[in-house]
Chains A and B, each alone.
Chain A
Amino acid sequence: MVMATKAYDKSFREEVYKNVDSGEDVKLCMQCGVCGITCPLRDKMTHGPRQIWSLIRAGKRDEVMDSPDIMLCTSCYTCKVRCPRGVKVIDIMHGLAHYALEQGIVPRAETAKFGKVFWDSIYKTGRVDETEVPMRYTLTAGPIHGLFNTLEMMDIGRALLSHKRMKFKLGPGIPPSKKIKGIKGLKKMLDKAQAMSPGKEG
């Protein structure tokens, strides 16, 4: 069906209601604006949460799925606590990001890469290795950019080392990070959780 570019289209909202974590809450928003105004990242966002909801209702799939805004959320929970309608704002924001990635859309590459490194670290070792994760993340930019980025972070790194806030490593996996006890059990749990995520059941 060909729709006028700006016309309301109900397919995307139904998609969101069905596939995105807490997606049905989008229906309940009364556009009071509290979430947007309390969000500490509001200056960085093109569309605050409530506008994202409006876009979903209007059926603007691309605008929502490509929007870096849905990956900016830092999980501060302010919006969710304050929403008078009890909309689980951050759950939907993360849900949307997750859903986009699943669809092969990367709304904000940095966040996606960081998330991947973070997840790998937990999945493999059961912990977030504070040297390993930044190192790997820095290198996601490629060897040259990675080197530049690392040099940029040198001062902070040195300070952290001298305060024993970080262990020294030569490079990613050198030496390898220690695994937690019962890492197998944890992996099982994580696999199960992943299988249960919304949109997976059908």
Chain B
Amino acid sequence: MDKNQACYLCQGCGLGEALNFEKLQEVVEEAGIGEVKTHEQLCSPEGVAFIQGDVDGGVNAILLGACSCRVKTNEFDFGPEVIVERASLREQAVYPSEAEYEGEEEAGEDRQMLAEDYLRMSAVKLAKSDVPVPFQLEEAPETSVMVVGGGVAGINAALAAAKAGVDVFLVEKEDALGGFLGKMAKLAPENPPYQELEDTHLEALVAEIEGNDKIKVYTGNTVTETKGAPGNFDVTLSGGESFRCGAIVQATGWLPYEPEKLAEELAYGSNDAIITNVDMEAKAKAGDLGGIGSVAFIQCAGSRDQNHLPYCSAVCCTVSLKQAMLVKEANPEAAVYVIYKDIRTPGQSEEVYREAQRKGVVFIRRGEDYPKISESGGKLAIETADVTLNDTVEIDELDLVVLATGMKPNNPRVVEPPLVALGMDQEAAKKVAAEAKAACDDWSVLNLKYRQGPNLPTLKYAYPDSHFICFPYETRRTGIYAAGTVRRPMRVTAAVEDATGAALKAIQATKAAAGGFAVHPRSGDMSFPEFAMQRCTQCKRCTEECPFGAINEDEKANPLPNPTRCRRCGVCMGACPERIISFKNYSVDMIGSMIKSIEVPEEDEEKPRVVVLVCENDALPAIDMAARAGHKWSPYIRFIPVRCLGSINLVWIADALSSGIDGVMLFGCRRGDDYQCHFIKGSELANVRMSKISETLDRLVLESDRVRVEEISFGEVDKVPQIIAEFMETIEEVGPNPYKGF
């Protein structure tokens, strides 16, 4: 594009008094932008009109020296054809720096240099950026959605999508819709005042599906193959049919934890009257509860137990409450006991707990140990610790004992190892867990033809979630959403909510694929990675490291990008040793040039320079907030926002150190099991890459202390100045970069 550049410097928010604008203007002009204007408040209607006037007159590339790029985004949006590059003079230069420093010959010199550097960097980025051209699929993008799984989540997802006007393919492996809902007698109370057990309303739901001409149902079918990408998924079913859809919702439910594994702890299998909550539900559905005179439910049967399911399934308490109420309904005189560790009743289920109590169900807190179940006189007896009585108590004359077992992800390959891993010898456990996880990942409902494997990547307990808190329903395969118990244990109410959420996300994904923009977290981003293929060495790093499996490969191992699967994280760009992957507005060269545009003072000036590569998702907002909260930090720091720590190419660190910068810090999200990375693996990968860099540093006779990775979360505002101060201290200890002035 022909760029017509202009720079606007804002004097509002105290910037006018804090900086020397004549000098700033000179710096921008030297950086090659002829038109530099100042304004007393750019975000005011007059300020915006001031810029708009120039845009109308032909300016299409704007450098804004004002506040953080995270604020006033509506004001400074001049349409998709105009590039706006923002230097955060307020949050990164003025707020965090002191007005003067002791011993400076000129007041505020450090602050002024800081602002000048930010303008230089932004000017370089602006010069190298282009307007992104949205990616268009070769074949017309589809708007339809496939829902796999015809249980409560699948049915509701299909209905939600159809109601939104979208064509739906609903695939169910059984011959009838319903899933586990079809096996349930009643639902626990779901509506205020949470006292009445409720109907499953399955028939009505199925009738609604059948009566909806937007929904095409394939029962008795599984998915044998899913090819393509959002907008163009080509699906083949076991029945031989095939179709194309735009996005997918996987709602394939759960598996009950195997009670056979509780033979030792809870005598399962020793007596027919020891059953699971699943069996109990069947009994209730068959109307077979009348004869129960006394029953005990044992909660956490294998749950929250390092030797079985280490997690809480969050449903079995409510299920037992419901089943206890069912017994009481059938026979109000029945003695009903619930022996628990903690009653966990998420959402409104606490009301269900009260109702069960009102009905006279007796609750006994057992502590960690399992109760002992034995047979006596043709009935069952239980001996259990009663924590509140600090005693051991007995319950005898029991007709039935119900084990409240938990939920496992619906993947037949999920065996105990990934779940028990924690209780065993750690090294051995890790190995078993890794093997088991690999087995899980190799099995799939969707049978994706993806370079990275057929299944949705899973987390610790083999659930295919990706970012539990921020992006529910998201899997690590763009355009494929998980709804209901396939992603975590949950009860029917939650699965229905999930279904709606996932259906809407799926529709959004089809729109994004059609419009050529990203789904979250860079929602609306039109840029996408472009590969300068003639220089590709087929090293496979990009295809392997892309957290979203966006890149397939051909027979010769050439990367085949699928831009509609791409989330625009830039991890591939960070991975590529040939540096041939770039975005229109984000590239290795761009950031490298920004780093090189920083003015590095001579060694004897004793003004070190440190570059901090900041992840825009959590670290950058934390810095902005810290600045606004009045925290101050060293003026020798230069922040450069990056899309993800995973997008950092090692060459930038080399660029920085060879231009005399004294230290480089990477500021990003937490990694590991409780990762906060918005692109899942980004900060993890950055860490791996950084651990390899110390070798290179040694070769350059540079101390590896000069490079550091720090993890921070959105709310850890107070940590920002602390981390910076610590790093500056280290840099002072290591001394100036020997490459200064080369």
Contact = CB atoms under 8 A, between A and B. Distances in A.
Contacts of B335: 8, 10
B393 interface: yes
A67 B365 CA distance: 23
A55 B393 contact: no
Contact of A55 (B343, B354, B363, B389): B389
B360 interface: yes
Contact of B386 (A3, A29, A50, A54): A54
A8 B357 contact: no
Given A27-B360, A31-B365, A4 B388 contact: no
Given A51-B388, A54-B389, A55-B389, A28 B358 contact: yes
Contacts of A4: 394, 396
Interface in A51-66: 51, 54-55, 57-58
Interface string A26-52: 011111000000000000000000110
A30 B395 contact: no
A8 B383 CA distance: 10
B392 interface: yes
Given A6-B394, A8-B394, A10-B335, A57 B354 contact: no
Nearest to B296: A8
A58 B343 contact: no
A32 to B, nearest CB: 10
Contacts of B393: 6-8, 58
A54 B388 contact: yes
B175 interface: no
Interface string B361-399: 111110000000000000000000010110111111000
Interface in B617-653: none
Contact of B394 (A7, A13, A17, A51): A7
B663 to A, nearest CB: 53
A116 interface: no
Contacts of A55: 389
Contact of B395 (A7, A31, A51): A7
A18 to B, nearest CB: 12
A7 B386 CA distance: 12
Contacts of A57: 362-364
Contacts of A169: none
B389 A28 contact: no
Given A31-B365, A51-B389, A54-B386, A8 B395 contact: yes
A11 B272 CA distance: 28
B392 A50 contact: no
A140 to B, nearest CB: 34
Nearest to B391: A6
Contacts of A28: 354, 357-358
Given A8-B394, A10-B335, A31 B354 contact: no
Interface residues of A, number: 21
Contacts of A6: 391-394
A54 B384 CA distance: 14
Contacts of B389: 51, 54-55, 58
Q: Which of B335, B337, B353, B393 has the most CB of A within 10 A?
A: B393
Given A7-B394, A30-B343, A13 B362 contact: yes
Contacts of B364: 57
Contacts of B395: 7-8
A57 to B, nearest CB: 5
A167 interface: no
B569 to A, nearest CB: 46
A31 B388 contact: yes
A8 B388 contact: no
A81 B354 CA distance: 19
A10 B126 CA distance: 80
A50 B363 CA distance: 13
Contacts of B392: 6
Nearest to B359: A27
B354 A7 contact: no
Nearest to A8: B395
B386 A58 contact: yes
A85 interface: yes
Nearest to A17: B360
A58 B339 CA distance: 13
B353 A8 contact: no
B29 to A, nearest CB: 69
B357 A7 contact: no
B456 to A, nearest CB: 39
Nearest to A4: B394
B394 A85 contact: no
A85 B343 CA distance: 14
A47 B337 CA distance: 22
Contacts of A50: 388
Contacts of B357: 27-30
A8 B337 contact: yes
Q: Which of B337, B361, B389, B395 has the most CB of A within 10 A?
A: B389
A152 to B, nearest CB: 38
Contacts of A30: 343, 353, 357, 363
Contacts of B394: 4, 6-8
A39 to B, nearest CB: 15
A30 to B, nearest CB: 7
B334 to A, nearest CB: 10
A17 B363 CA distance: 16
Nearest to A63: B389
Contacts of A3: 396
Nearest to B393: A6
A95 to B, nearest CB: 18
Nearest to A33: B388
Nearest to B340: A31
Interface string B390-417: 0111111000000000000000000000
A85 B355 CA distance: 12
A27 B392 CA distance: 21
B223 to A, nearest CB: 46
A27 B395 CA distance: 18
A50 B357 CA distance: 15
A26 B335 CA distance: 16
B293 to A, nearest CB: 10
A10 B364 CA distance: 14
Contacts of B360: 17, 27
Nearest first, the 7 closest Cβ-Cβ pairs linking A and B are A7-B394, A8-B395, A54-B388, A27-B357, A6-B394, A10-B335, A57-B362
21 contacts: A6-B391, A6-B393, A7-B393, A7-B394, A7-B395, A8-B393, A8-B396, A10-B362, A13-B362, A17-B360, A27-B360, A28-B354, A30-B343, A30-B353, A31-B363, A50-B388, A51-B388, A54-B386, A54-B388, A54-B389, A58-B393
Given A8-B394, A27-B361, 7 more contacts: A6-B393, A6-B394, A7-B395, A13-B362, A24-B358, A50-B388, A58-B389
